[in-house]
């Protein structure tokens, strides 16, 4: 991994950082889907404090496709969970679409998870006893949609990931790649402002991984904001911007071109 | 919407795990079954007591003058018994003045009874039967129907002719396979000719009303019934309408007070027993039965609630990941809470439904094998269903609130 911090990524410029921080006290611009400032997450493990995040500042615009890279234990999942409103930071502020999420209560967070966030997990997290269609319907159930409309919307989401034919199959009747596509359909079904994916290919072989990356790329091309966590450089290389985490802090934030250039040895090695 | 979803989920769980569900529901099922069965029995017994038994013992619109009440299983106060024991008896001489005092159109009868050995030529030995010496309109007041033969004639009653009317049980025991009318039976060494046989009256609590022998009061048998032959056990009075009851009772009371030389302020030393006063005993008994009817189901339901709570706690633990997934997708605490509450309520309502079916079955079985006409009360079914759902909700509260408070990340991390 490059130690270079002097990269010409758009958000690394002092001017842009200033733009975010200066607005931090007020409401950050609607252009920024995600703005975090000084996010910390500490775990008290019986007296010993584990610092998973040590002050993370990131800002992500609408329609960006961002990869979060970093070695295991660097705090990627912790950051994703906070961005996905599954967890709350111990310190710092987080704005989603201009509203201060870090100050929200349980039920408001649930509403945000339901409406604004689509989460894709490494382990798929599908309900084993429910069909693909029903799994995709779940967010709509909690959005209070009628059964009929739910079925239509869910079927449409499955169509977007080319799984219409497997609609009535249960997870154990699907391949890993198909399961992950069901999970992606479920994440998309409520038209979230961001699609979050925490190592979405971590449980898949390389061919299937490639297929899944294609799906994300297509979604990004269609204008979906995507944040993806990975510890593999070749996967990160699909994104248009790569944020590197190290020991709970952002160590670099670069455009893809620059990232590919810097990490060509890693990416080529994997291909070969 | 989420509600039906949860019911569907619960029913799926029951279907998928039949044996586990069976044990889960057993407590509620047994509780509700007992509720339905006990209520049915109490209702059936009540109807039986109020309509049949008491009617047979005392009769409608009638009261009995006795030296002390004969149906009072409720009052067991020893001092009361002591005072009863010291009361003067009624004698044959008291009857005429009492009857004279009654309003027009009133029916009356007198009776003395005891258990006596009765024998016949057709049976191996004497058998005990309830022997009553009667006069007046006894059979009419008691609504006893003569199935075979005839009633006593006024002459037989007046002269004390040794004739008897018997119950079917007596026929069965003393005249097996024979037509008894015209044949003789013996009481106290004297022969009595059977002139009639009563219709069966059935039995209650092992007490047969069919093992009875009736003779004219004036016949020699009355000497065998009480230590003093002129003692009369009861004067039975039946007025034409219920409105005349108080009036008739008051007149009889005055006559008896004079005959017993009671001063004003002294309490009566005789009893005027109505079917209501006899029912007081039943009402007391009923209270115990209702208590049992509450206690038994309550135990079942409490056990059921504990079992359901444990099963739901296990379910929450087993489905922690599912809860995490649902929360990650936007389920609020209230959504998770209601999901598990509805699930618990569905489980236990299914248990209650099975219990209702079994309870109705048990009530039917009881009405077949016993004389109790156990009737299922519709309200007990409603209460059964409500209890089922209620127990489910109550026992679901703790597990459901635990589920709803799970941290989504911790829940998702579970295997
Ligand atoms: N629930 C937790 N309790 C204690 N420590 C935790 C918890 N979750 C994560 N951590 C710690 O925080 C650090 C970052 O974890 P994580 O965000 O999962 O890293 P990554 O996803 O990059 O592998 C690790 O040291 C991990 O042990
Ligand atoms: Mg991780």
Contacts of B280 (CB under 8 A, 6+ apart): B74
3-class SS letters over chain A: CCCCCCCCCHHHCHHHHHHHHHHHCCCCCCCEEEEEEEEEEEEEECCEEEEEEEEECCEEECCCEEEEECCCCCCHHHHHHHHCCCCCCCEEEEEECCEEHHHCCHHHHHHHHHHCEEEECCCCCCCCCCCHHHHHHHHHHHHCCCHHHHHHHHHHHHHHCCCHHHCCCCHHHCCHHHHHHHHHHHHHCCCCCEEEEECCCCCCCHHHHHHHHHHHHHHHHCCCCEEEEECCHHHHCCCCEEEEEECCEEEEEEEHHHHHHHHHHHHHHHHC
Q: Which of B1, B322, B330 lies at the smallest CB-CB distance from A139? A: B330
Looking at the DSSP assignment, which residues form a beta bridge with residue B127?
A: B118
pLDDT (tens digit per residue) in B284-330: 777 787 787 788 888 888 888 998 899 889 989 999 999 999 999 99
Angstrom CA distances, B184 to A167, B123, B153, B166, B177, stand at 92, 12, 18, 11, 15
User: Is the dihedral angle over the CA atoms A141, A143, A146, A151 positive or is it negative?
Assistant: negative
List residues of chain B with CB under 8 Å from any CB of chain A: 1-2, 5, 12, 321-322, 324-335, 408-409, 412
Please provide the average confidence, as pLDDT, over all residues in chain A.
87
For residue B5, pLDDT over 80 is answered with no
CB count, 10 Å around CB of B76?
A: 8
Which residue is closest in CA terms to ligand 1's atom 8?
A78
- Could you tell me the end-to-end alpha-carbon distance of chain B, in angstroms, rounded to an integer? 29
How far is residue B54 from each of residues B41, B48, B49, B126, measured CA to CA in Å? 17, 8, 6, 30
**Would you call B28 exposed, middle or buried from its count of C-beta atoms within 10 A (0-12, 13-18, 19+)?**
buried
Q: Which residues lie closer than 8 Å to B327 by C-beta, 6 or more apart?
A: A86, A110, A113, B336, B406, B408, B411
pLDDT band (50, 70, 90) for residue B57: low
Q: What is the pTM of this model?
A: 0.70
Q: How far is CA B409 from CA A87, A155, B42, in A?
A: 7, 28, 56
CA of B322 to the centre of ligand 2 (A): 20
Confidence grade of residue B59 (pLDDT, cut at 50, 70, 90): low
DSSP code, position B107: E
Whether A151 has its CB under 8 Å from any CB of chain B: the answer is no
CB B64 within 8 A of CB B237: yes
* Domain-embedded: residue A257: yes
Tell me how close the Cα of B349 comes to any Cα of chain A, in angstroms.
Answer: 24
A120: β partners: A197
- At A181-207, the pLDDT tens digits run 999 999 999 999 999 999 999 999 999
Q: Write out pLDDT tens, residues B372-391.
A: 777 788 888 898 899 889 99
Q: Do B332 and A106 touch (CB under 8 A)?
A: yes
User: Which atom of ligand 1 lies at the shortest distance from residue A71's CA?
Assistant: 22
Q: pLDDT band for position A24 (50/70/90)?
A: very low
Domain-by-domain residue ranges, chain B? 2-52+281-413, 61-277
Which ranges constitute the DSSP H helices of B188-272?
222-225, 245-259
Cβ–Cβ gap B328/A146 under 8 Å: no
A28: pLDDT confidence band, cut at 50, 70 and 90?
Answer: low
Are B272 and B63 contacting, i.e. CB atoms less than 8 angstroms apart? yes
Report the gap between the CA of B319 and the closest CA in chain A (Å): 10
pLDDT tens readout for residues B81-116: 788 888 999 999 999 999 999 988 899 999 999 999
Place of tokens 């099975």: B354
Asked whether the beta carbons of residue A127 and residue B412 sit closer than 8 angstroms, the reply is: no
| For residue B202, pLDDT beyond 70 | no
Assess if residue A101 is contained within a domain. no
For the record, the structure tokens of B389 come out as 């759902």
More confident of the two residues B46 and B341: B341
C-alpha B52/C-alpha A163 separation (Å) is 74
Report the range of poorest mean pLDDT among A105-109, B42-46, B58-62. Answer: B58-62
Q: What is the ipTM of this complex?
A: 0.88
Q: What is the mean pLDDT of residues A197-223?
A: 94
A245 φ, ψ (degrees, to nearest 5) = -105, 140
Which residue range is the domain that position A126 belongs to? 3-10+62-86+115-271
As a whole number of angstroms, the distance between CA A200 and CA A182 comes to 12
Q: Token pair of A4, please?
A: 């270079």
| Chain A residues 201-220 with a CB less than 8 Å from chain B | none
Task: Find the mean pLDDT for residues B71-90.
Answer: 76
Q: Is the CB of A230 under 6 A from ligand 1?
A: no
Tokens 């079955």 correspond to what residue? B361
Report the residue from A125, A129, A141 with minimal CB separation from B5. A141
The reply to whether ligand 1 has any atom less than 6 angstroms from the CB of A37 is no
Give the CATH number, domain containing residue A80.
Answer: 3.40.50.300
Residue owning the nearest CA to atom 2 of ligand 1:
A43
Asked if residue A1 has pLDDT above 70, the reply is no
Please state the domain count of chain A.
Answer: 1
Among left, alpha and beta (phi > 0; psi -120 to 50; other), residue B154 is alpha
Query: Which residues of chain A lie closer than 8 angstroms to B12, CB-CB?
Result: 129
């Amino acid at each position: 991994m490059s130690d270079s911090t002097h990269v010409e990524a758009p958000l690394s410029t002092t001017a842009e950082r200033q733009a975010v921080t200066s607005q931090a006290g007020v409401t950050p611009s609607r252009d920024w889907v995600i703005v975090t400032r000084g996010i910390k997450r500490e775990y008290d493990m019986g007296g010993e404090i584990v610092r998973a995040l040590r002050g993370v500042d990131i800002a992500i615009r609408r329609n960006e496709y961002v990869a979060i890279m970093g070695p295991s234990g660097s705090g990627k999942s912790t950051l994703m969970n906070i961005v996905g409103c599954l967890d709350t930071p111990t310190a710092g502020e987080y704005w989603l679409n201009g509203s201060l999420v870090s100050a929200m209560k349980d039920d408001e967070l649930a509403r945000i998870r339901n409406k604004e966030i689509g989460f894709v997990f490494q382990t798929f997290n599908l309900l084993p006893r429910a069909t693909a269609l029903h799994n995709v319907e779940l967010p709509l159930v909690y959005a209070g949609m009628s059964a009929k409309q739910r079925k239509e919307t869910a079927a449409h989401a499955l169509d977007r990931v080319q799984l219409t034919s497997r609609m009535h199959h249960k997870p154990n009747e699907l391949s890993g790649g198909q399961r992950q596509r069901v999970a992606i359909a479920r994440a998309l079904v409520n038209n979230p402002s961001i699609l979050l994916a925490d190592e979405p290919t971590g449980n898949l072989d390389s061919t299937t991984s490639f297929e899944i990356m294609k799906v994300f790329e297509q979604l990004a091309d269609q204008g979906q904001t995507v944040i993806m966590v990975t510890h593999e450089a070749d996967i990160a290389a699909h994104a248009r911007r790569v944020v590197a985490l190290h020991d709970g802090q952002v160590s670099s934030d670069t455009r893809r071109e620059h990232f590919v250039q810097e990490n060509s040895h890693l990416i080529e090695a994997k291909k070969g | 919407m989420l509600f039906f979803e949860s019911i569907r989920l619960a029913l799926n769980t029951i279907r998928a795990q039949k044996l586990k569900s069976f044990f889960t529901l057993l407590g509620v099922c047994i509780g509700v079954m007992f509720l339905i069965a006990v209520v049915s029995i109490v209702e059936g017994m009540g109807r039986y007591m109020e309509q049949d038994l008491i009617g047979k013992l005392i009769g409608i619109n009638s009261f009995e003058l006795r030296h002390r009440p004969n149906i009072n299983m409720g009052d067991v106060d020893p001092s009361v018994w002591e005072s009863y024991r010291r009361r003067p008896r009624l004698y044959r001489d008291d009857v005429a003045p009492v009857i004279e005092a009654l309003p027009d159109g009133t029916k009356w009868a007198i009776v003395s009874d005891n258990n006596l050995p009765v024998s016949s030529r057709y049976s191996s030995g004497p058998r005990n039967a309830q022997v009553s010496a009667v006069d007046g309109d006894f059979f009419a007041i008691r609504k006893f129907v003569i199935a075979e033969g005839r009633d006593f004639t006024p002459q037989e009653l007046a002269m004390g002719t040794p004739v008897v009317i018997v119950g079917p049980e007596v026929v069965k025991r003393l005249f097996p396979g024979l037509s008894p009318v015209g044949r003789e039976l013996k009481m106290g060494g004297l022969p009595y000719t059977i002139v009639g046989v009563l219709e069966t009256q059935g039995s209650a609590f092992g007490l047969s009303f069919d093992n009875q022998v009736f003779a004219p009061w004036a016949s020699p048998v009355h000497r065998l019934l009480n230590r003093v032959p002129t003692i009369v056990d009861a004067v039975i009075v039946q007025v034409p309408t219920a409105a005349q009851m108080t009036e008739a009772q008051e007149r009889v009371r005055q006559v008896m007070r004079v005959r017993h030389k009671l001063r004003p302020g002294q309490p009566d030393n005789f009893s005027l027993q109505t079917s209501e006063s006899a029912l007081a005993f039943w009402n007391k008994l009923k209270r115990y039965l209702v208590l049992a009817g509450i206690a038994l189901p309550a135990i079942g339901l409490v056990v059921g609630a504990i079992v359901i709570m444990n099963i739901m706690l296990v379910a929450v633990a087993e489905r922690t990941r599912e809860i995490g997934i649902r929360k990650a997708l936007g389920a609020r605490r209230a959504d998770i809470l209601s999901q598990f509450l509805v699930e618990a309520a569905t489980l236990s309502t299914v248990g209650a439904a099975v219990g209702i079916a079994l309870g109705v079955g048990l009530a039917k079985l009881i009405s077949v094998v016993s004389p109790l006409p156990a009737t299922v009360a519709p309200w007990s079914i409603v209460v059964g269903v409500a209890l089922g759902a209620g127990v489910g909700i109550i026992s679901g509260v703790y597990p459901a609130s635990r589920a709803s408070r799970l941290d989504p990340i911790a829940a998702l991390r579970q295997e």
